[in-house]
Amino acid sequence: MARKRYSNLDPSATVKTFKEVRRWQKERKGKVKDLSYRIGQAEHKQQALLSSNQSELTITWIGHSTFLVQIAGLTIVTDPVWASRMGFARRLEEPGLTLDEIPPVDVILLSHSHYDHLHKGSLRKLKGSPVVLVPEGLGPMMRKLMRGKEVHELPWWGHVKIGPVEFHFVPAQHWVRRTLTDTNTSLWGGWVIKRSEEDTVYFAGDSGYFAGFSDIGVRFPDITYALMPIGAYEPEWFMGAQHVSPEEAVQAFVDVRAKQFIPMHYGAFRLADDTAKEALDRLLAEWQQRGMDSNNLKLLKHGETLWHTANGQK
């Protein structure tokens, strides 16, 4: 029986052809880039807080699209990737916390099945007995991989409640493939983690710029933190449909009506032709050009924890 294939809300956002891939590979050979910049590690890491926290909202950047989020006593990990390399390329910086340094995990959120977002080795090594929330179509693989764990598949706009926390799977513009024959046989998207109007986190996953960001903002008008990708956008003629540029990431942040912007998807792996320094420079220039409040842009180091209490951030 033929497997279901998924598509984007915008039908023109399709997978690039082999001819276009070859054009990109030929083009990138002529580029010379300074790859020396590093985001760096947090000076003070909060393992003790993360191990004992049962009430406060914390957001810790592990690296790339991997965050450790704590809310209402739940420990959540997004797109767990502790891999030391991606394909033939070594990781640019070590993860902010090791697998041994994070507490037992209650919930795993997967945005899609690309290797830099779903690393089987990391998933197997996570401590705890987590509930695994995945896009529709990814359930069979994850049930086989995470034997004995509770796995929920969600369509766009589907949701699950675990304790007092709601997890909503929301659209993104992207695509998936892990083998030659499984292109777009599972869905892709982001997650809205919601306890209350004061504690709502949007994890955007991986996405090109699309009208769905505004739809998310309408449905969830109380997003406090938006974890937004800013890297892997060059060349934009090739990457634009699947990865936002830094300027588009700022517009997406405006569209979803969030209060705080935390950039991700840069600095750990070199997946395209841009560098972490270029992504940050363009992000900061766009933020300044729009006259946006610098206090609402949170540039985390690897392993840095943003701690949101009832009295504000720490």
Tokens of 127: 């401590």
Phi, psi of 29 (to 5 degrees): -65, -25
Look at residue 308 in the predicted model and tell me its pLDDT: 73
Structure confidence at residue 312 (pLDDT): 52
Q: Which amino acid is at 131?
A: V
- pLDDT band (50, 70, 90) for residue 1: low
Give CA–CA dist 183/204, Å, rounded.
Answer: 21
| Ordered domains of the chain (ranges, CATH) | 39-293+300-308 (3.60.15.10)
- What are the pLDDT digits (tens) for 14-24? 888 889 999 99
Res 306: pLDDT: 96
Residue corresponding to tokens 């995990």: 105
Q: Which of 4, 5, 25, 28 is nearest to 15 (CA)?
A: 5
Q: Which residue has the tokens 């030929």?
A: 26
How confident is the model at residue 89, as a pLDDT?
86
Q: pLDDT above 70 covers what percent of the chain?
A: 97
User: Tens digit of pLDDT for each residue in 246-294?
Assistant: 999 999 999 999 999 999 999 999 999 999 999 999 999 999 999 999 9
Cβ(175)–Cβ(5) below 8 Å: no
Q: Could you give the dihedral angle defined by the CA atoms of residues 125, 131, 132 and 133, in that order, rounded to the nearest 10 degrees?
A: -150
Q: What's the pLDDT score for residue 310?
A: 52
Residue pair 30/231 in contact (Cβ under 8 Å)? The answer is no
- For residue 102, the model assigns a pLDDT of 97
CA distance 17 to 201: 35
| Among the ranges given (22-31, 104-113, 283-292), the one the predictor scored with the smallest mean pLDDT | 22-31
pLDDT of residue 266: 97
The model scores a pTM over 0.85: yes
